[in-house]
Amino acid sequence: MKVAVLMGSPNDRDKMQGAADTLEAFGIEADVHVMSAHRNPAEVTALATTARENGYVAFICGAGMAAHLAGVVAAHTTLPVVGVPLSGGAINGVDALYSTVQMPRGIPVATVAIDGSVNAALLVVEMLAISDTDLQAKLLEDRARRANP
């Protein structure tokens, strides 16, 4: 079981590292890629269209400004896609938030807070825990730990 963690630029790695670290803490492989919906559209499309047969169970996509990465991925897969709007640019991520959350009907992208890569990973873990009792137990432990640091 693996989750693709995508970011539009190498500069986004620090903001998206929390997603990879969180997934790995739950025993889920995080396959991290840097690819832009604008600069590498063919690569993004190829990854999204072959994801299921290549063992992926979900995508976490972080991008700033126009933030089209999550939407492009969602247009090419039926796997869950969680978008992480990233801060930066003239309005510090609000543009990315609006771009990520405003998907057309029929192409859903779950969206978390600006720079919320940890919550994106936890949302994916919750989805997977629907049918995985080991992950359910790990989530309960994680919630207890967060409640009593």
Q: Answer yes or no: is pLDDT of 149 > 80.
A: no
Average pLDDT over residues 121-136: 98
Q: List 80's β-bridge partners, or say none.
A: none
List, in order of start, the domains of the chain with CATH numbers.
2-147 (3.40.50.1970)
The span from the CA of 59 to the CA of 137, in Å, is: 23
User: Which tens digit of pLDDT belongs to each residue from 76-116?
Assistant: 999 999 999 999 988 999 999 999 999 999 999 999 999 99
DSSP H or E run through 125: helix 117-129
- Please state the pTM of the whole predicted model: 0.96
Backbone region of residue 140 per phi and psi (left: phi > 0; alpha: psi in -120 to 50; beta: other values): alpha
pLDDT at residue 90, rounded to an integer: 87
